[in-house]
Structure 1
Amino acid sequence: MSQKPILIVDDVDTHLTLFTATLEAAGYTVLPARSQAEALALIDITLPGIALVDLVLPDGDGIALIKLLKDRDPTIKLIAITAFASVDRAVSAMRNGAEDFLVKPIEPDQLKATIANTLAGRSIGQYVQPYPVDDVEAEGHVGSSSLMQDIYSTIRAVAGSAASVFITGENGTGKVKAAAAIHNQSGFQDGAFVKLDCSTAAPDTIEAELLGQIGTREIPEKIGAAELAYGGTLLLDEICTLSLPMQARLLNMLQSGMITPIGATAGRPAEFRLICTSTVDPRAEVQSGRFRADLFYRLNVVPIHLPPLRARGLDVVEIAETELDRLCAREGREFRTLSTEVKAIFLDHAWPGNIRELMNVLWNAIVLHDGPVVNVTDLPPYLRGAQRSQKPSHLGGTSQAPENPFAGKTLAEIERNAVEAAISHAGGSIPTAARSLGVSPSTLYRKLEGWGRPVRGGRKF
């Protein structure tokens, strides 16, 4: 905990009350202020260790207050608060002394995590192992397809056990996010969530990274990931890249239930939930002799395979619209939806980079353009080119193409007709219609609002 109090400057009483109560409950001393004048009066009496400053104040600019606070005490740690998720404002605040920024609405856990990270000297986006699950965002864990609903059910079911989980899938499908979701819903959630990337750790240090090392005069002591995960979850990312000798060491640890650091004569209890991931097919690695069969069958108690985005049907549009809302709130953009042409491109694209590629496309669009509708011209060139290259495959042929029941209709008209037919067939029930279409009810409510069709009782989530 900080030895100095935390100054919070916000002119909205509800926000100030919530932030103060949250931090006081966590054991911090808080100095609340509703204006720049109140803040300056408080610091004349007591110097805070951290200051959270709203960038819009009734008697001055928050960025100017940040600069003033930093000039008075160069050691103070400053966090900007804004309801306008503008990169320019955040960068300006940081150039004037802020170390981090928060965008309203701010969840209590997010506030506490930011304070903890600031006290620990962590920069934005920097993960220090073991890192809190809250740092792992849940993008990609959206989708109403039956394929993904089955996976979410498996995640919920396995979270209640201590069984080992082996998650497979292409790059960018959300394997680490799924592992974090399991941990966050499990009995191990009070422990650390420790990730060790087996594919990036150097071969000569991977053993110490996993098991730890006893310090000597020449070599400092190292606590391994297995010990850091005590009482929590150990995630071995890309486990199939481990060498056969390291696979043997891991198997020995699991069989004995003891962690034996390099140079140690006695082991320590191994108490953690183990989750592994792999981009390559582990069964193929076993068949080729590159992965030990006995280790694989010990790890593969509950297998979960995350499908590529191209196999998830309409999920791609649902994910895109959900993430568009989140990113626009973060970046202060006005985009609200995707154009019909963009939806068609998204549904047709193979997404070799999966959800990660989709996120990059959306972020590129909203950073370089603004809304309210994402159009084809807002997309990166390689996706704009995909639209221009689409041509009927039967041109120049002699065979008669089958009659097209959608001839003369736009994709938007086809979509609306399908939605309204499903709602009518469901007797007006939005949730029932959503299930029949393989989308979430919130997706249908959003479309109905966009078409100007009133929804009795408002949106229901």
Structure 2
Amino acid sequence: MAIETEKLVYVVEDSVSSGALYCSYLEQAGYQTRHFTDGHSALLGIKEQVPDVLLQDVCLPDISGLEVMRFAKERSDIPVIIITANSSIEIAVDAMRLGGFDFIEKPFSKDRLMTSVKSACEQIRAEQTKQLNQPRSVASSGKPKTVRDHFVGDSVEMASVFQLLESAARSKASVFVTGESGTGKEVCAQALHNASARAAGPFIAINCAAIPSELFESEIFGHEKGAFSGAVSQRIGAAEQANGGTLFLDEICEMDLNLQAKLLRFLQTASFQRVGGQKLMHSDIRIVCATNRDPASDVAEGRFREDLYYRLNVIPVQLPPLRARGNDVVVLAQYFLREKSAANSKHFERFTPEAELIIKKYSWPGNIRELQNVLEKIVVLHDSDKVDESMLSSLNDNIIPLRNNNTVSSAAIDSRNNLQSPQSGIQGFQNIRPLWQIEKEAIESAIAQCDGNIPLAAACLGVSASTIYRKIKAWESGQH
């Protein structure tokens, strides 16, 4: 507690009584405080002395709380905790995207306030420790550890992802990761945790699609002995296990609506009860969630709570599919080849040029996970110093082979797409159908076979549901 007693917290709250109450809570815990009732006086106070933590109401009588936050951030990258009412949650979310540390909704409890301020101070200490140790880490490894070090590849498509994650790592803001299956959403969450001030804390991952609905609440919040049939002992839930760290909720859109309400309350209050328990528990966690569906569509269709979506989608991260990452696919393939070869005591070192070409041209509907599985199978079944074209025959059968400096052979087109070339004797090109029509028919057929279930159809086609929704909207508007 010795370090915390030295921390100076500015409380910017236009309500005299509320501000005084927050200050009294903080002073009881050993913090120094100053209370400002308007934005301009807060600006003067910050100019005079920058605090360690800023507790900032977004709605002030003179200027926006965001202006005060920006002013403080320009002078020192201090953690800013946003205070907001329900009517201004969107403003609070914007503040988080601008670099806010956390936001709490009125009315909030003393415990919720103290948990957030304590977490902010822990981040300060972690960053100070990191700075003290940085020269040693730079000397030993060449550079400090970052989010980027957890990924393989450096495509332009991933650059914005890295930048967003680096910014997110410095706050407690919830991160919502979207992308097709196999694009590395859990790797993204783990990288975010490891690069944050919570790296020393636990990283707990839960797959929401793999847990039966009747056991979900127990899995997240735990249960007491005898809480239900089969509860023969007390269970500590994921929210409690992740205290001081990160809770990763994969396939969040599969969560039952009833539990969504309880998760929302936990995010708002940082408190929960075990199933069958009476004691109110508190946990300081950072939430990272992920889905391969389109969460906005689920919200629009009533399958996902809108208020929870806004709570979780503070920092949205969209992971690109492997086919959109350019030469990263070859870099990843080389990385996995070395990894799988070493694990299986084999001698693979490289790919032939023909094999590399196949890897580049294959669409990889299963993304990085499919690439890993393909290479592991090759390493297990063969033993050589290189991967050649024959070892990738299963992929080669599903792409149009390239000939003569990347031109497509007409024979391949005839056999694979059942389209006749102009040289085959047909007058004109009337038998060649537009690609968008073929795509539209394929998507409509998949949706029909899946009884109208678009997410299921998307999974069968190897694309994201958001892609199908976007194409349907384009067709309805007359665009191709």
* Correspondence 1:12-411 to 2 at 5 A: 141-216=151-226, 219=231, 220-379=233-392, 381-386=393-398, 391-392=409-410, 393=413, 396-398=421-423
Over residues 143-190 of structure 1, what are the superposed CA-to-partner deviations in whole Å (9 max), with x where a residue is unaligned?
Answer: 121111221222222112111111111111100011001111111111
Asked if the contact 1:139–1:323 (Cα under 8 Å) also holds between the matched residues in 2, the reply is no
Asked if the contact 1:183–1:193 (Cα under 8 Å) also holds between the matched residues in 2, the reply is yes
Asked if the contact 1:140–1:355 (Cα under 8 Å) also holds between the matched residues in 2, the reply is no
Cα distance in 1 for partners of 2:328, 2:280 equals 47
Cα distance in 2 for partners of 1:139, 1:366 equals 26
Change (3 A) 1:322 1:397: same
1:372 shift after superposition: 2.0
Cα distance in 2 for partners of 1:388, 1:376 equals 14
The residue identity in structure 1 corresponding to 2:261 is A
SS at match of 1:378: helix
SS at match of 1:171: coil
More helix by share: 2
Q: Which runs of 5+ in 1 are unaligned?
A: 1-137, 400-461
SS at match of 2:154: coil
Asked if the contact 2:323–2:364 (Cα under 8 Å) also holds between the matched residues in 1, the reply is yes
Change (3 A) 1:171 1:193: same
Cα distance in 1 for partners of 2:347, 2:400 equals 27
SS at match of 1:231: coil
Cα distance in 2 for partners of 1:169, 1:387 equals 23
Q: How many residues align?
A: 261
SS at match of 2:210: coil
Cα distance in 2 for partners of 1:249, 1:396 equals 60
Cα distance in 2 for partners of 1:396, 1:304 equals 43
- The CA RMSD measured in Å over matched residues stands at 2.2
Change (3 A) 1:316 1:140: farther
Higher mean C-alpha deviation, range 208-217 or range 334-343: 208-217
1:388 shift after superposition: 7.4
1:389 shift after superposition: 6.0
The residue identity in structure 1 corresponding to 2:398 is A
Cα distance in 2 for partners of 1:397, 1:360 equals 40
Cα distance in 1 for partners of 2:275, 2:398 equals 54
Cα distance in 2 for partners of 1:289, 1:388 equals 42
Change (3 A) 1:140 1:339: farther
Asked if the contact 1:140–1:174 (Cα under 8 Å) also holds between the matched residues in 2, the reply is no
SS at match of 2:274: coil
Cα distance in 2 for partners of 1:384, 1:139 equals 32
Asked if the contact 1:251–1:295 (Cα under 8 Å) also holds between the matched residues in 2, the reply is yes
Over residues 17-68 of structure 1, what are the superposed CA-to-partner deviations in whole Å (9 max), with x where a residue is unaligned?
Answer: xxxxxxxxxxxxxxxxxxxxxxxxxxxxxxxxxxxxxxxxxxxxxxxxxxxx
Asked if the contact 2:175–2:289 (Cα under 8 Å) also holds between the matched residues in 1, the reply is yes
Asked if the contact 1:140–1:319 (Cα under 8 Å) also holds between the matched residues in 2, the reply is no
SS at match of 1:235: strand
Over residues 363-392 of structure 1, what are the superposed CA-to-partner deviations in whole Å (9 max), with x where a residue is unaligned?
Answer: 11111112222101122x421423676633
Asked if the contact 1:212–1:261 (Cα under 8 Å) also holds between the matched residues in 2, the reply is yes
Identity of aligned residues (%): 40
1:313 shift after superposition: 1.3
The residue identity in structure 1 corresponding to 2:369 is R
SS at match of 2:267: helix
Change (3 A) 1:387 1:276: closer
The residue identity in structure 2 corresponding to 1:244 is L
1:258 shift after superposition: 0.4
Asked if the contact 1:212–1:225 (Cα under 8 Å) also holds between the matched residues in 2, the reply is yes
